[in-house]
Chains A and B, each alone.
Chain A
Amino acid sequence: MSEPRFSVGQRVQIADRTPPVHHRVPSYAKGHVGVVERVCGMHANPELCIRGDGKPFQRIYRVRIPQTDLWAPYEGTDGDKLEIEIFEHWLELAQ
Chain B
Amino acid sequence: MTGHDDHDHGRTFQPDHPEPTSDAALVGLALRELLIEGGHYTAEEELAVIAEMQGASPENGGKIVARAWTDPEYKKRLLINGKDSIKELGFDLEPYEFTVMENTDQVHNVIVCTLCSCYPRALLGMSPAWYKSRNYRSRVVREPRAVLSEFGVDLSDDVDVRVHDSTAELRYMVLPQRPAGTDNWSEDDLAALITRDSLIGTQRDLSTK
Contact = CB atoms under 8 A, between A and B. Distances in A.
Interface of A: 24-26, 28-29, 38, 40-41, 43-44, 46, 60, 62, 67, 70-71, 74-77, 79-87
A60 B161 contact: no
Interface string B155-180: 00100111111111110000000000
B98 to A, nearest CB: 11
B126 interface: no
A60 B170 contact: yes
Nearest to B116: A24
14 contacts: A24-B115, A26-B115, A38-B99, A40-B97, A43-B168, A60-B169, A62-B170, A67-B144, A76-B143, A80-B144, A80-B161, A82-B162, A83-B164, A84-B167
A52 B160 CA distance: 38
B97 A25 contact: no
A49 B161 CA distance: 34
B141 interface: yes
Contacts of A24: 115, 167-168
B209 interface: no
B76 to A, nearest CB: 15
A19 B167 CA distance: 16
Contacts of B169: 40-41, 43-44, 60, 85
Contacts of B99: 38, 62
B146 interface: yes
A46 B162 CA distance: 26
B11 interface: no
B142 interface: yes
Contacts of B121: none
Given A26-B114, A71-B142, A85 B167 contact: yes
Nearest to B115: A26
Given A25-B167, A28-B141, A41-B97, A83 B146 contact: no
B131 to A, nearest CB: 16
B145 interface: yes
Nearest to B160: A79
B42 to A, nearest CB: 27
A81 B160 contact: yes
B114 A76 contact: no
A23 to B, nearest CB: 9
Interface in B107-146: 114-115, 141-146
B163 A60 contact: no
Nearest to A38: B99
A87 B146 CA distance: 30
Interface in B19-41: none
